[in-house]
């Protein structure tokens, strides 16, 4: 087992770290306070190639591996999970499904636009009445000549109000249940497509989350991704990518908690010495460090399997479950280390907590990850 990063991975990590510290961290508190999405950061990330790390160069990507992708998401997640979310939805839930399931025409049409940030993408699976039960969609797709008519609503869609391209999952034949689902590449300026931005979120305040409303949206038949009946598998495959991005971002949050806590604990004095000298403070910091190392190894193992091109649902779910729960634990401990100051946004740790919590919810709750892992371990399906 080689734990060293390659020279290319080191270089990508250092570039991502510098960019995160220089361009993302300074405005993070202000953007969070005022719920501002800063498009200029996304444009700069695109120039570095970070909007498409794992896409082949012929589609405008960097052609890097999945460990490199994880390193980028870690470094950006360390300073701002809103930006990391925008990025991972673009990469993991939009670009990679098109790369894996798209026709050559679809790849050439959409991937370069997503890679250079001209377009943003979003992933339209969840509905107001269907989150964990992702096969039970009400959005309908009805064939009308050479087009499909899509009607329905999608809920909690990251990037939803900004996206130019939406990957929409819809039911073509309700009697077939999961096997009737299909995936469609929907250009969001198509008549009948509208969005409603969701306000008042606990965290990820400077990212966009929206409800999508589709009213007889006409999509050319050639914009179906895969075949009729492939929709559910495409969604599950995509979530193996998305959950990896979430887990990587959470590794970054834990690192951010360690950094902030060590600095504060060395600066802050009580009873005549820095609080970093107290055993109970060191215990909280060492818990964060152990979680960081464990989460990072789990993420990199899942990335290693992705590089080999083998199914990694189990390893990705383990990484996502562990890293997201560990990020919440780390953020709670980081607030505790900061005492009263941790309760205000003068320090980043309360934002880390608010941003970490969603990672235990979106792209499959912790309970869903446990049931996926449990089913693969016992061979018994808790869902049916
Ligand atoms: N890769 C490829 N194929 C897969 C797959 C994967 N990872 N997972 C499943 N499949 C295939 C299976 O092989 C199976 O194929 P066959 O029928 O040919 O055998 C088929 O898909 C059905 O698989 P399952 O039997 O495993 O499906 P299930 O119904 O038992 O799944 C579930 C249940 C695991 C709970 C699933 O519904 C699930 O993951 N739910 C959570 C959904 C979720 O994460 N939603 C978040 C949406 S994104 C979001 O949060 C918004 C955002 O903007 C970020």
Asked whether 269 and 307 are in contact (CB, 8 A), the reply is no
Q: What kind of fold does domain 121-229 have according to CATH?
A: Butyryl-CoA Dehydrogenase, subunit A; domain 2 (2.40.110)
The verdict on the CB of residue 204 being under 6 Å from ligand 1 is no
What is the per-residue burial (b if ≥16 Cβ within 10 Å, else e) of 98-116? bbebbeeebbebbbbbbbb
Give yes or no for residue 144 CB within 6 A of ligand 1: no
How many angstroms separate the CA atoms of 207 and 31, rounded? 9
Please classify residue 178 by burial: count the beta carbons closer than 10 Å to its beta carbon, then call 0-12 exposed, 13-18 middle and 19+ buried. middle
Distance CA 50, CA 68 (A): 10
- Closest CA relative to residue 139, chosen from 185, 197, 181: 181
**Pairing between β-strand 165-171 and β-strand 121-124 as defined by DSSP bridges:** parallel
Nearest CA to ligand 1 atom 34: 372
Pick the CATH number of 7-115 from 2.30.29.30, 3.30.420.60, 3.50.50.60, 1.10.540.10: 1.10.540.10
Q: What share of the chain is helix, strand, coil (3-state, %, to 5)?
A: 60, 15, 25
Half-sphere exposure of 280 (CA within 13 A, CB side): 3
Domains 7-115 and 233-378 share a fold: no
Give the list of residues 6+ apart from residue 273 with CB closer than 8 angstroms, or none. Answer: none
Task: Classify 21 as helix, strand or coil.
Answer: helix
Confidence (pLDDT) at 1: 80
CA of 235 to the centre of ligand 1 (A): 6
The per-residue pLDDT for 384 is 85
Closest CA to 201 of 32, 26, 24, 30: 32
Q: Do 232 and 179 form a contact (C-beta atoms < 8 A)?
A: yes
- Among 106, 135, 108, 377, residue whose Cα is nearest residue 239: 135
Question: Using a 6 Å cutoff on CB, does residue 126 contact ligand 1?
Answer: yes
Residue of 120, 232, 240, 369 with the most ligand 1 atoms within 8 Å of its CB, for mutation: 232
Residue pair 363/43 in contact (Cβ under 8 Å)? The answer is: no
Number of H helices, E strands in the chain: 12, 10
CA torsion angle 197 199 204 206 (round to 10): 70
Angle at 21 between CA 19 and CA 26, to 5 degrees: 115
**Domain boundaries of the chain, sorted by first residue:** 7-115, 121-229, 233-378
The Cα 168–Cα 228 span in angstroms is: 13
Closest Cα partner for 246 from 355, 156, 98, 135? 355
167 lines ligand 1 (CB under 6 A): no
In degrees, rounded to 5, the angle at the alpha carbon of residue 137 between the alpha carbons of residues 364 and 315 is: 25
Question: pTM (2 decimals)?
Answer: 0.97
Residue nearest to atom 1 of ligand 1 (CA): 237
In CATH, the number for domain 233-378 is: 1.20.140.10
Q: Is 138 a catalytic residue?
A: no
Separation of CA 367 and ligand 1 centre (Å): 14
Strand partners, 218: 149
- Predicted pLDDT at 16: 98
Question: pLDDT tens digits, the chain, 384 residues: what are they?
Answer: 889 999 999 999 999 999 999 999 999 999 999 999 999 999 999 999 999 999 999 999 999 999 999 999 999 999 999 999 999 999 999 999 999 999 999 999 999 999 999 999 999 999 999 999 999 999 999 999 999 999 999 999 999 999 999 999 999 999 999 999 999 999 999 999 999 999 999 999 999 999 999 999 999 999 999 999 999 999 999 999 999 999 999 999 999 999 999 999 999 999 999 999 999 999 999 999 999 999 999 999 999 999 999 999 999 999 999 999 999 999 999 999 999 999 999 999 999 999 999 999 999 999 999 999 999 999 999 998
């Amino acid at each position: 087992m080689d734990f060293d990063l390659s020279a290319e991975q080191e270089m990508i990590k250092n570039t991502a770290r510098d960019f995160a510290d220089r361009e993302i961290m300074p405005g993070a508190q202000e953007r969070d306070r005022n719920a501002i999405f800063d498009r200029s950061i996304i444009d700069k990330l695109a120039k570095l190639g970070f909007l498409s790390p794992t896409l082949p160069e012929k589609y405008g990507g960097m052609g890097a591996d999945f460990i490199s992708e994880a390193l980028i998401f870690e470094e950006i997640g360390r300073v701002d999970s809103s930006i990391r979310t925008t990025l991972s939805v673009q990469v993991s839930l939009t670009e990679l499904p098109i790369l894996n399931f798209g026709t050559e025409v679809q790849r050439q049409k959409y991937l370069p636009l997503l890679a250079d940030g001209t377009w943003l993408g979003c992933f339209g699976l969840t509905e107001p009445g269907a989150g964990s039960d992702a096969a039970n969609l009400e959005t309908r797709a009805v064939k009308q000549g050479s087009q499909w008519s899509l009607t329905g609503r999608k809920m909690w869609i990251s990037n939803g109000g900004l996206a130019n391209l939406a990957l929409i999952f819809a039911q073509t034949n309700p009697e077939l249940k999961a096997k009737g689902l299909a995936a469609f590449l929907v250009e969001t300026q198509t008549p009948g497509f509208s969005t409603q931005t969701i306000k008042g979120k606990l965290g990820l305040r400077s990212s966009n989350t929206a409800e999508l409303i589709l009213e007889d949206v006409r999509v050319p038949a050639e914009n179906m991704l895969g075949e009729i009946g492939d929709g559910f598998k495409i969604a599950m495959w995509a979530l193996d990518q998305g959950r990896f991005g979430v887990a990587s971002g959470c590794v970054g949050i834990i690192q951010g908690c360690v950094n902030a806590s060590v600095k504060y604990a060395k600066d802050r004095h009580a009873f005549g010495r820095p609080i970093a000298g107290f055993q109970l403070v060191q215990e909280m910091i060492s818990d964060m460090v152990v979680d960081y190392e464990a989460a990072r190894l789990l993420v990199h193992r899942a990335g290693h399997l992705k590089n080999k091109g083998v199914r990694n649902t189990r390893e990705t779910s383990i990484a996502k479950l562990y890293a997201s729960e560990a990020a919440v634990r780390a953020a709670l401990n980081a607030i505790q280390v900061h005492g009263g100051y941790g309760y205000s946004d003068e320090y980043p740790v309360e934002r880390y907590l608010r941003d970490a919590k969603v990672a235990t919810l979106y792209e499959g709750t912790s309970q869903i990850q446990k049931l996926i892992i449990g089913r693969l371990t016992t061979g018994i399906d808790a869902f049916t």
